[in-house]
Structure 1
Amino acid sequence: MAFSKTFVACLFLLVIAARLVESDEILESGGRSLLSSIDCAAKCEVRCSKSWKPKMCHKTCETCCHRCNCVPSGTSMETRSECPCYAQMKTHGNRLKCP
């Protein structure tokens, strides 16, 4: 009997943890559901079109896009505020990660 109570308690905690992770991901994506993902390749192609290192820019942009489900519309720094998750992501060196 004690085993089943422990099992139910663990299962309950696992469900709560999964919900917290899911809500965290939705918040990071700017409140949009992760089920409706955008075309990261196309958005990043536009975003990196004027970059001096387009291949590197595109690769980094796609990583950020997949994490945030958002890419700023323009090619300048001014449009970064359109996607808070994208704009605030930092590298280990505390530099802006997303181009």
Structure 2
Amino acid sequence: MASKALLFPLAALLLVSTKVSSYEQEEKLEIPVKAPPAPVQTPAPAPSAEVLSPPYEPPAPPPVKVPSPPYEPPVMAPSLPYEPTAPTPPTQPPTPPYIPQNPTPAPPATTPSPYKPPSRTFPPVITKKDCIPLCGPRCKLRSRTKLCLRACIRCCYKCKCVPPGTYGNREMCGKCYTELKTRYNKPKCP
């Protein structure tokens, strides 16, 4: 421990001594600076030559425009009085509409659809333990099975129903199952 305490002051002393010794060994370089060049004298400006301007002529007067004659509408030729033509009577009486000889047959009688037995009723759900065998087949094909099971059991316990199959059929459990949403407005029940 004592060696560590001694190591820090020695390192500081070594750093200071190397810095001081490096200042002493610096080379003092003198860079020769050239004297500034002598100012360049500009030659005196040449005398200006007299510029002759062209003689002044006043502008020509604008051409006089002759006014155009006033507009006169064209004269219309007198029209002849209207003489209605008398309608000519039809030469042949109209033909009566075509009446089919056979009346249209009556539509065939519809047979009632066959009786559809009611869908399988689900066992009553009382506790969360009753939901596990119903939710197992529903979630077995999901990639996150445990997450699906947790949501399914929660919905099963609340709505007392689990739809058949592995996906879809949510409307078979009614409004409760279809309207349960997460806070991001996604369906909560699988």
Partner Cα separation in structure 2 for residue 57 and residue 40 of structure 1: 13
Equivalent of 1:54, from 136, 145, 148? 145
Structure 1 segments of 4+ aligned residues over 6 angstroms from their partners: none
Distance in 2 (CA, whole Å) between partners of 1:88 and 1:46 is 22
**Corresponding residue number in structure 2 for 1:83:** 173
| Deviation sequence 1:41-75 (CA, Å, 0-9, x none) | 00000110111110000001000001000000111
Q: CA deviation at 1:37?
A: 2.1
Residue in structure 1 matched with residue 134 of structure 2 by the alignment:
43
Match in the other structure for 2:165: 74
Structure 2 counterpart of 1:69, which letter? Answer: K
Question: Alignment partner for residue 155 of structure 2, among 64, 71, 74?
Answer: 64
The aligned residue for residue 97 of structure 1 is: 188
Give 1:82 shift. 0.7
Computing the radius of gyration from Cα coordinates, the structure with the larger value is 2
Q: Using the aligned pairs only, state the percent identity.
A: 43
Aligned to 1:20: none
Comparing 83-92 with 46-55, which one deviates more in the overlay?
A: 83-92
Alignment of 1:23-42 (within 5 A): 36-37=124-125, 39-42=130-133
Amino acid at match of 1:72: P
The AA in structure 2 aligned to 1:37 is: V
Structure 2 unaligned spans of 5+: 1-123
Aligned length: 63
How far has the Cα of 1:86 moved from its partner? Answer: 1.3
Aligned-pair Cα RMSD in Å:
1.2
Higher helix share: 1
Q: Which amino acid aligns with 2:172?
A: E
| C-alpha distance in 2 between matches for 1:81 and 1:63 | 17
Structure with the larger RCO, 1 or 2 (CA within 8 Å, 6+ apart): 1
Unaligned regions of 5+ residues in structure 1, if any? 1-35
